[in-house]
Structure 1
């Protein structure tokens, strides 16, 4: 596991734990909850940047174009 994936995983886990902890208390700490959610979203965003899009591939067509001869 390379360092970038480890950082992403740590951000997601720590952000989720912080958000869960802040929401579980009797007196909810809004700033701690927001910080946990921001850290969680940051980790998910960094992870999703490395996933290739299915639309990036160049599709092969069954129809081949022919070059027109110049006269």
Structure 2
């Protein structure tokens, strides 16, 4: 499980690095920018899907 979590953080770092790299040049590379954002969002989705909902915690208290 911990190995998968590290993989998700690597996805976020790679996606953000690609998005920054695409914006850095004078000529923007749209394909790299879009792919970087997609990888970034996919990594964030996988990280946030492991966080339990607050509503679920409130239901368990009663």
Same fold (TM over 0.5): yes
Flag the structure with higher helix content: 2
**Coordinate RMSD, CA, aligned:** 1.3
Name the counterpart of 2:47. 47
Give the TM-score normalised by the residue count of structure 1: 0.79
Aligned length: 60
> In 1, Cα distance between the equivalents of 2:20 and 2:7?
20
Name the counterpart of 1:68. none
The answer for unaligned runs of 5 or more in structure 2 is none
Q: Which structure has the larger Rg over C-alpha atoms? A: 1
> In 2, Cα distance between the equivalents of 1:32 and 1:20?
10
SS of corresponding position for 1:41: helix
Name the counterpart of 1:12. 12
The answer for unaligned runs of 5 or more in structure 1 is 61-71
Highest RCO, 1 vs 2 (Cα 8 Å, sep ≥ 6): 2
> In 2, Cα distance between the equivalents of 1:49 and 1:4?
12
1:6-62 alpha-carbon deviations (Å, 9 max, x no partner): 1110000000000000011000000000000000000000001000000012242xx
